């Protein structure tokens, strides 16, 4: 298959981890006889420096013409005192909006060699492997009115959804469950919120299209508790924008390491922007210390969700797991009796393992 990928390295370690993931993607292309072409564009602080705006027109155009986008991270102290229209994160919010990326997917998976890094007990987090599907362009964060009233003595925010917006995110969750463990937990607050009642109705309707998938409803407060007391009961969680924001940060403590968490933000046509959850880490930028695994795992998500290359995606994920099992790690991870290596070497180990996997 032939695919064109736009790289948005951004700032700080963004350039290092994006370049690592690009090398892994090139190795996958070679192994599986695909042709991946790459084009790099500026976003964030580097774009402000080079073009006077965090999201140049040329970057948006290139993304719209690509098959998928891989982003590093944006931001750094250099731009912290800029006026708001010249802030690096404006580039990130802008590109998500331009591309209508309504579905945010955050997988959380514990790697056995890293379980001690979680503040939770090993027996609780062991074997946890879940995917949070968060609605990203609607709900409480985008509803209007959202304003102060009565001379600042009252305030209103609005949780609004069109049925079609709920349908598309719920369907995306069921699709994801079909290639995972066929279990969907829909999280809401249907005992209180009208929007959640409609959310439940839509889930009940759409589940008919996926008879193989086990579906359950859970109230968000109970879900918050179960996520850290019995995470292995979850496979796919689908939920409203703000609930998803909170639950996905909560779920990230299961793995205990920021350098390991990938994400995808998708539109209606499975076009997606893939990025690590972490930021630009200015404290370690340019020193070869960055953990490339979150971005490499984001590249695996790209193969799975945008290119339907499930076998290729699994090959990357299994190489990452093997590398950690063998004790290889960057300085941010602490593996007892492991081999501490730099970004480049970590990437090479993953590539060697994915090539020898049979």
Quote the CA–CA distance of 96 and 228 in Å, as a whole number: 30
Q: How far is the CB of 289 from ligand NAI (least distance, A)?
A: 6
The answer to the question of whether 81 is labelled as a binding residue is yes
Q: How far is the CB of 297 from ligand NAI (least distance, A)?
A: 11
Write the burial class of residue 77 (CB in 10 Å: 0-12 exposed, 13-18 middle, 19+ buried): exposed
The one catalytic residue in 141, 182, 210, 334 is 141
Q: Is 245 in the site for Mg ion (CB under 5 A)?
A: yes
Question: Which residue of 128, 280, 298, 306 would you call a contact of ligand NAI, by CB under 6 A?
Answer: 280
Q: Is 240 in the site for Mg ion (CB under 5 A)?
A: no
Q: Is 259 in the site for ligand NAI (CB under 6 A)?
A: yes
Among 150-158, 194-202, 245-253, 274-282, which window interacts with ligand NAI (CB under 6 A)? 274-282
The number of beta carbons lying within 10 Å of the beta carbon of residue 123 is: 8
User: Is residue 11 annotated as part of the catalytic site, yes or no?
Assistant: no
The one catalytic residue in 49, 58, 157, 249 is 249
3-state secondary structure of 137: coil
Question: In the chain, which ranges are continuous DSSP H helix?
Answer: 14-32, 45-51, 57-64, 88-98, 122-125, 163-178, 194-206, 220-229, 241-251, 293-305, 310-325, 343-356
Closest CA to 213 of 178, 179, 239, 242: 178
Residue closer to Mg ion by CB (options 56, 262) is 262
Site string for ligand NAI, 311-340 (x = CB under 6 A): -------------------x-x--------
- φ, ψ for residue 151 (rounded to 5)? 55, 40
Question: In 101-144, which ranges are continuous DSSP H helix?
Answer: 122-125
From Mg ion, ligand NAI, none, interface partner of 298 (C-beta below 5 to 8 A by class): none
User: Is residue 42 annotated as part of the catalytic site, yes or no?
Assistant: no
Q: Is 49 in the site for ligand NAI (CB under 6 A)?
A: no
Q: Which residue has the tokens 């909560």?
A: 250
Quote the CA–CA distance of 35 and 31 in Å, as a whole number: 11
Q: Is 54 in the site for ligand NAI (CB under 6 A)?
A: no
Where do contacts with Mg ion occur on this chain (CB under 5 A)? 245
Where do contacts with ligand NAI occur on this chain (CB under 6 A)? 13, 17, 73-76, 92, 258-259, 278-284, 290-291, 294, 330, 332
The annotation places the binding site for substrate at 96, 106, 134, 221
């Amino acid at each position: 298959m032939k695919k064109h990928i736009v790289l948005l390295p951004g700032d700080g370690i963004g350039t290092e981890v994006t370049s690592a993931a690009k090398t892994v993607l090139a190795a996958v292309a070679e192994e599986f006889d695909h042709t991946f072409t790459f084009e790099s564009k500026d976003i964030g602080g580097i774009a402000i420096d080079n073009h006077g705006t965090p999201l140049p027109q040329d970057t948006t155009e290139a993304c719209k013409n690509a098959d998928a986008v891989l982003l590093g991270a944006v931001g750094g102290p250099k731009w912290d005192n800029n006026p708001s229209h010249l802030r690096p994160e404006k580039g990130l919010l802008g590109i998500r909006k331009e591309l209508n990326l309504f579905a945010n997917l955050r997988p959380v998976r514990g790697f056995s060699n890293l379980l001690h890094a979680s503040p939770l007990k090993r027996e609780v987090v062991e074997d946890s492997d879940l995917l949070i599907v968060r609605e990203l362009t609607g709900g409480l964060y985008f509803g209007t009115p959202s304003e102060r009233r009565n001379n600042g003595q009252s305030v209103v925010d609005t949780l609004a959804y069109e049925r079609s917006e709920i349908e598309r995110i719920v369907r995306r969750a069921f699709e994801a469950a079909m290639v995972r463990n066929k279990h969907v937990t829909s999280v809401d607050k249907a005992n209180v919120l009208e929007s959640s009642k409609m959310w439940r109705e839509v889930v009940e309707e759409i589940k008919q299209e996926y008879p193989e998938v086990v579906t359950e409803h859970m109230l968000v407060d109970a879900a918050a508790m179960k996520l850290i007391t019995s995470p292995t009961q979850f496979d796919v969680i689908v939920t409203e924008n703000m609930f998803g924001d909170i639950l996905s940060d909560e779920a990230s403590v299961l793995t205990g390491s920021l350098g390991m968490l990938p994400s995808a933000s998708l539109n209606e046509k499975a076009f997606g922007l893939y990025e690590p959850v972490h930021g630009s880490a200015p404290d370690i930028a340019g020193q070869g210390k960055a953990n490339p695994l979150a971005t490499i795992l984001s590249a695996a998500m790209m193969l799975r969700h945008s290119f339907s290359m499930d076998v290729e995606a699994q090959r990357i994920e299994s190489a990452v797991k093997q590398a950690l099992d063998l004790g290889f790690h960057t300085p941010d991870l602490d593996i007892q009796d492991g081999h501490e290596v730099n970004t480049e070497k970590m990437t090479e180990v993953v590539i060697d393992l994915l090539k020898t996997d049979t």
